[in-house]
Amino acid sequence: MTGVGGLAGKAYDQLFTQVFTRTDPEWIHHKAFAAVRAARPLTQRMVGAGTAQLGEPVEAMGIRFPHVLGLAAGFDKNAVGVDALAALGFGHVEIGTVTGEPQPGNPTPRLFRLPEDRAIINRMGFNNDGAEAVARRLAARTASGKVSDVVLGVNIGKTKVVPESDAIADYEKSTGLLAPHADYLVVNVSSPNTPGLRDLQAVEKLEPLLRAVRRRADEVTGERRVPLLVKIAPDLSDEDVVAVADMAGAVGLDGIIATNTTISRDALRSDPAKVAEVGAGGLSGRPLTQRSLAVMRLLRERVGPDMTLVGVGGITTVEDARARLEAGATLLQGYTAFVYEGPLWPRRIVSGLARG
């Protein structure tokens, strides 16, 4: 990275080291996201009206993606900055996780950095405005006519206070409200921060849930079939990964997103006392690289060449991105590297992949 890009990258590194690491991560997230939204006119002129010129288009699930790299769910939970994020160079943006009912999430503090590991621990707990509010916001976005060519994914999860016995109805509510606005839909059963959620990854519970979401999506979208994916955890055993892969084929899912955050704290460089002080939550970033890569290889071997697989978890460099694609990923997503590397990161990854 040289010239203006190199100077901007160094400036962001200094800002991150001197300011961000000394400030509450969640507060900084909100301020930085507000700045991204405010800067949209400038960044859109830099990138262009869309994102297609950054890399090679990808056809997946019947959708034309401008290029392989998107922003993972969790950054824009409430669909307040989809097109501003696209202007930074993301080819797709996955909003959410959105739940059937609005909820504040877990008590603060709930977001923590581990700079030595280029990692983040979060226990946000699906804090979001709820499916009704997000659906209204997406409808207003479309009505505004100021929509970029970014592909919009919508990630849905279970409301915390809803018992497992009513989980399907909760997901169906979100599906009915949000599927009409989505280019693709993701069922999240893999966050570690909603009690009992990961239990839904068991195939005997996951299959009826996915079939119900598929039916509801078809009811509200008519002839426009919205692709459906499931997002899984890196903490599944290899045997369970294979079981999910087989079930995805049986149900007719369009894809699998691998992987969400991990509850593991193995092989971290950070001071163990600091890690213990942070406590529970999902770990994201570089420590996930190898396990997420292994899960991707396992999935691709099991599902064959046709199903869409989205690689996420520990993708920081162009080499990381290339390795995930070589392991079988159709598309890629990032989150933690975007936080650590700054607003030029998506453009750097996509242009690096395009250079081969």
97 belongs to an annotated ligand binding site? yes
pLDDT of residue 49: 44
129-132 contact pairs (CB < 8 A, 24+): 129/77, 129/78, 129/98, 129/102, 130/98, 130/99, 130/100, 130/101, 130/102, 130/103, 131/98, 131/99, 131/100, 131/101, 131/156, 131/173, 131/174, 131/177, 131/178, 132/102, 132/177
Establish whether 78 is an annotated binding residue: no
pLDDT attached to residue 8 = 63
Cβ pair 332, 312 in contact under 8 A: yes
127 is annotated as contributing to ligand binding: no
Give catalytic residues, as residue numbers: 191
Please tell me the predicted confidence (pLDDT) of residue 53: 62
Which residue type occupies 57?
Answer: P
> Going residue by residue through the chain (356 aa), what tens digit of pLDDT does each one get?
445 456 566 777 777 776 777 789 999 999 999 999 999 988 877 655 444 467 899 999 999 999 999 999 999 999 999 999 999 999 999 999 999 999 999 999 999 999 999 999 999 999 999 999 999 999 999 999 888 899 999 999 999 999 999 999 999 999 999 999 999 999 999 888 898 888 889 889 999 999 999 999 999 999 999 999 999 999 999 999 999 999 999 999 999 999 999 999 999 999 999 999 999 999 999 999 999 999 999 999 999 999 999 999 999 999 999 999 999 999 999 999 999 999 999 999 999 999 97
- What pLDDT does residue 46 have? 64
pTM comes to: 0.94
CATH topology for 3-355?
A: TIM Barrel (3.20.20)
Structure tokens at 178: 């949000």
Residue 3: alpha-carbon gap to chain centroid:
31
pLDDT number for residue 44 = 75
- pLDDT value at residue 146: 85
Output the six-digit token pair for 272: 């163990």
- pLDDT in the model for residue 308: 98
Phi/psi of residue 172, nearest 5 degrees: -65, -40
Q: Is 137 marked as binding a ligand?
A: no
> How confident is the model at residue 29, as a pLDDT?
94
